[in-house]
Amino acid sequence: MKKEKAIGTQLRLSNGETVDAEVWPEGSLEVLSQVEAEQLRSEGEGGLYLLLRRCILAVLNSGAETDDARAVQEKFRDFEIGFIQQDRGLKLTLKSAPAVAFVDGIMIRGIRELIFAVLRDIVFTNYEIRESNRFDLSSSESITNAVFHILRNAQILQPSQRPQVVVCWGGHAISRAEYDYSKKVGYEIGLRGLNVCTGCGPGAMKGPMKGATIGHAKQRIRDGRYIGITEPGIIAAESPNPIVNSLIIMPDMEKRLEAFVRMGHGIVIFPGGVGTVEEILYVLGILLHPKNSELPLPLIMTGPVESKDYFSQIDAFVGATLGEDAQRRYKIVTDDPERVGSEIRSGMDTVREFRHTHGDAYFFNWRLTIDHSFQVPFTATHETMRDLDINDQLPSHVLAANLRRAFSGIVSGNVREDTIAEIERNGPFEIRGSGRLMKLLDDLLSAFVDQGRMKLARDSYTPCYRVIK
């Protein structure tokens, strides 16, 4: 057995693909109470071990070219984590961990930081949000407060900073041309001194960060922020990319989406699949709320010339479902990274002026009204998907909320292990609604399948849903 000591890591065993190691904290949670440590070890009711194992394995597997969460779990089925409490603080033990997380027997520092960010957020959410009785998570106001506290605990909110966080959304299963274009846009964003926040995975979540690092380097910006926001249900299929230097694990998809729009000052949307449409419907549904009609939030959809038809499809779908008011809330820019950077920079100035005039915080958008229907966690089951109300008589922001749930359910059916297993047992989800809307939905989803936007394994995708016209 070979042992090798290094700062923060002690390597104990290697078999080529996996290693055993002991890891000291880097940048986050360094001590646990006995009760916290016991719950993290427990796999039973109220225990957090399985949740923590899934998230940490995803971080350690960063850079893997797969979005098959079950395949990752099977490949590293012997992976285990443990905790050693010492006088000098906490130590994490890893058994059969992915060797890709280590270089010359030393864990990559960025990965070590992200591991303890996972531990920090899971402990904080469990004890301070769920079990403290301080937050009534059935109340819209309390949900927003919970999102704020999780972000503040992660030290993401910076009161002294002017508006400069650009949220970048887009898919992980994109073409090489689309990925390269997202890097060029990220470069233009970085040149303008702006920071990037994404869903933290590969593809259009990694590209803007990679481009921004070069833009920041040219401007000699040494404290660039590359913020990744994820949640336990999706992290296994979209492992955090290695550029992320601030990782936040939100409790569920709805709080993840709220974190994006509360802390971001502008949004750039790249090509993607159902997850990207879910995000588009979320933000448009919020902006269509009457109380948000005057609130500025720059929103740009962009891609290379090869993606022109993709955005035409999205624009047509939005117009046919949510109407012209929704279409007026965004711009579509094709094959022009410099213009995207310039317009998003100009939008930041508009946001700053608005918040300064109204005495609003720059670091958290308290003024934004988010309807409760966008905040309640949606669990995709055959029953909940079948019962979605998708009809032409609904107000646009309510229809947006229900359509978002439909797309969220498809995302879950594509990537979540438990949902995939349920679909294997009981068949695909059924999505029902008015004939016109179902045709629009089916046409868009069929286009995504044809374009290979559902999964990385483009040639073997079997739909997890059936649209009932």
Boundaries of every domain in the chain: 4-134, 149-358, 372-468
CATH architecture assigned to 149-358: 3-Layer(aba) Sandwich (3.40)
Is 279 in contact with 269 (CB distance < 8 Å)?
yes
Taking the C-alpha atoms of residue 156 and residue 226, their distance in angstroms, rounded to an integer, is 11
Is 228 in contact with 247 (CB distance < 8 Å)?
yes
CATH topology of domain 4-134: MCP/YpsA-like (3.30.1850)
Spans in the chain with pLDDT lower than 70: 1-16, 25-39, 43-46, 63-68, 86-90, 456-459
pLDDT of residue 5: 39
- The two domains 4-134 and 149-358 share their CATH topology (first three levels equal): no
In sequence order, what E strands does 309-461 have? 331-334, 429-432
Is 352 in contact with 360 (CB distance < 8 Å)?
no
pLDDT of residue 234: 83
Check the CA dihedral 146-148-153-156 and report its sign: positive
Is 363 in contact with 332 (CB distance < 8 Å)?
no
Taking the C-alpha atoms of residue 442 and residue 400, their distance in angstroms, rounded to an integer, is 16
For residue 286, give the H/E element and its range. helix 274-287
Sheet holding 80-86, edge to edge: 4-6, 9-14, 18-23, 89-98, 80-86
Is 197 in contact with 266 (CB distance < 8 Å)?
no
The pTM assigned to this predicted structure is 0.90
pLDDT of residue 364: 96
